[in-house]
Amino acid sequence: MRLAPRPPLLAGRDAILADLHWRLATAETLPYTVGVHGLGGVGKTSLVVEYGHRHLDEYQLVWQFPSEDPTTLSAAFADLAALLGVRQMADTADPVHQVHAALASRSDRWLLIFDNAPDADALRDFLPPAGAGHVLVTTRSGSWPHHYGVELPALDSESATTFLQQRSGQNDAITASRVVAELGALPLALEQAGAYLLGTGTGMSTYLDLLRQHRAALLAAGKPWGYDERVTSTWQLAFDQLAETSPQAIALLQLLACYAPESIPYHLLLAARDNALTEQPDSSRNASALLNLLPGDALAVNAAVTALRRYSLVSRPRDGLLSIHRLVQATTLNRPNASVHAARSAAAALIQAALPHAPNSPEVWPRYGQLLPHALAALPPGSAAFAEIAQYLGANGDYRTAQILCRLIWHHCTSTLGPEHPDSLAARHDLARWVGEAGNPATARDLLAALLPIRERILGADHPDTLATRHSFADWTGEAGDAVAARDQFARLLPIRERVGGAEHPDTLATRHNLARWTGHAGDPAAARDQYAALLPIIERVLGAETSDTLCTQYDLALWTGEAGDAVAARDQFTLLLPVVRRVLGAEHPSTLWTQHNLARWTGEVGDAPAACNQFSDLISVQERVMGADHPDTQSTRHNLAYWTARAR
Asked whether residue 409 carries a pLDDT value surpassing 90, the answer given is yes
User: How far, in Å, CA of 474 to CA of 515, rounded?
Assistant: 9
What are the sequence ranges of the domains in the chain?
14-151, 157-232, 235-354, 566-649
Tell me the pLDDT tens digit for each residue of 79-137. 899 899 888 876 678 889 999 999 999 999 999 999 999 888 899 999 999 999 999 99
Residue 226 neighbours by CB under 8 Å, 6+ apart: 4, 5, 7, 45, 46, 191
pLDDT in tens, 516-525: 999 999 999 9
* CA 419/CA 235 separation, integer angstroms: 47
Highest mean pLDDT among 215-219, 220-224, 491-495: 491-495
Higher pLDDT pick, 64 / 222: 64
DSSP letter at 91 equals: -
Architecture of domain 14-151: 3-Layer(aba) Sandwich (3.40)
3-class secondary structure, 345: helix
| pLDDT at 484 (0 to 100) | 97
- Please state, in angstroms and rounded to a whole number, the distance separating the CA atoms of residues 86 and 604: 89
**pLDDT tens digits, one per residue of 53-79:** 999 999 999 999 999 888 889 888 988
Residue 282's pLDDT band, with cuts at 50, 70 and 90, is very low
Q: Cα(152)–Cα(47) distance, rounded to whole angstroms? A: 9
Determine contact, residues 83/1, Cβ cutoff 8 Å: no
pLDDT of residue 40: 87
Across the range 532-559, mean pLDDT stands at: 94
CA distances from 362 to 536, 574, 577 (A): 21, 20, 16
Amino acid at 363: E
Q: What is the mean pLDDT of residues 272-293?
A: 78
Question: How far is Cα 82 from Cα 63, in angstroms, rounded to an integer?
Answer: 13
Strand, helix or coil at 362?
Answer: helix
Q: Inter-axis angle of helices 384-395 and 365-378, to 10 degrees? A: 130
DSSP 56-73: GGG-SEEEEEE-SSHHHH
- Please, which pLDDT band fits residue 198 given cuts at 50, 70 and 90? confident
- The pairs formed by 68-74 with CB atoms below 8 angstroms and a separation of 24 or more are 68/116, 68/117, 68/118, 70/122, 73/114, 73/126
Stretch 381-403: mean pLDDT? 91
pLDDT of residue 213: 86
- Residues 6 or more apart in contact with residue 532 via CB below 8 angstroms: 513, 516, 553, 556, 557, 560
> Which distant-in-sequence residues (6+ apart) come within 8 Å of 588 by Cβ?
397, 622, 626
d(CA 173, CA 162): 8
Quote the CA–CA distance of 208 and 528 in Å, as a whole number.
59
Is this prediction's pTM over 0.85? no
pLDDT for 418: 95
On whether the CB atoms of residues 639 and 633 are closer than 8 A, the answer is no
Among residues 591, 508, 503, 516, the alpha carbon closest in space to that of 546 is found at: 591
pLDDT above 80: residue 185: yes
> For the domain with range 566-649, which CATH number is right: 1.10.3720.10, 3.40.50.150, 1.25.40.10, 2.60.120.200?
1.25.40.10
Residues with Cβ within 8 Å of residue 468, at least 6 apart in sequence: 429, 507
> What one-character DSSP code corresponds to residue 81?
H
Q: Which of 332, 157, 364 is closest to 253 using CA atoms?
A: 332
How far is Cα 514 from Cα 519, in angstroms, rounded to an integer? 8
- CATH of the structural domain 157-232, one choice from 2.20.25, 2.120.10, 3.40.1710, 1.10.8: 1.10.8
Q: Which one-letter DSSP state was computed for residue 2?
A: B
- For residues 548 and 360, give the distance between their C-alpha atoms in angstroms, rounded to a whole number: 8
The pLDDT, as a whole number, for residue 225 is 65
d(CA 140, CA 627): 43
Q: Which has more confidence, 219 or 51? A: 51
Q: Residue 590 pLDDT more than 80?
A: yes
3-state secondary structure of 52: helix
Residue 259 CA to residue 326 CA, distance in Å, equals: 10
CA distance to 238, 304, 458, per residue, from 245 (Å): 10, 10, 58
**Confidence category of residue 283, pLDDT binned at 50, 70, 90:** very low
Gap between the terminal Cα atoms of the chain: 78
Is 331 a residue whose pLDDT tops 60? yes
